[in-house]
C-alpha cells in the first residue's frame, strides 16, 4: 500500500494483551503493525460478504447519504 491510501487506526488495549501481541509478532519475526494488520485481514475474511447497501435499505439511505460518509461510498 502506498502512504496515500493508508489510514491511521489507533487502538487502546490493556498491557497484558499488548505484551502478548509483541511476543507473538516477534516470534514470527514480524512487526507489531504487520502482525495486527494480517490478523485483522484474516478475521475480516471470515466475515460474510453480506453488507447492507443503500439500495437494499432505503430507510437507512438518507442516513448514509451525506458528505461525512461520502468517502465510504467507494468501498
Per domain, the residue ranges of the chain are 7-74
DSSP codes joined into one string, 14-26: -HHHHHHHHHHHH
Closest by CA position to 33, among listed 25, 23, 45: 25
User: Which pTM was predicted?
Assistant: 0.58
How far does CA 15 lie from the centroid of its chain?
A: 21
pLDDT tens-digit readout, 10-34: 999 999 999 999 999 999 999 999 9
CB 51 within 8 A of CB 64: no
Confidence of residue 36 (pLDDT cuts 50, 70, 90): very high
User: E-strand spans in 1-75?
Assistant: none
Distance from C-alpha of 9 to C-alpha of 59, rounded to nearest angstrom: 30
Question: What pLDDT sits at residue 1?
Answer: 47
Q: Is the pLDDT of residue 59 over 90?
A: no
Across the chain, mean pLDDT equals 81
Amino acid at each position: 500500500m502506498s502512504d496515500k491510501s493508508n489510514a491511521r487506526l489507533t487502538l487502546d488495549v490493556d498491557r497484558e494483551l499488548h505484551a502478548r501481541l509483541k511476543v507473538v509478532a516477534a516470534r514470527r519475526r514480524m512487526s507489531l503493525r504487520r502482525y495486527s494488520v494480517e490478523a485483522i485481514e484474516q478475521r475480516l475474511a471470515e466475515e460474510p460478504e453480506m453488507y447492507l447497501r443503500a439500495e437494499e435499505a432505503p430507510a437507512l439511505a438518507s442516513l448514509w447519504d451525506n458528505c461525512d460518509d461520502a468517502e465510504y461510498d467507494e468501498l
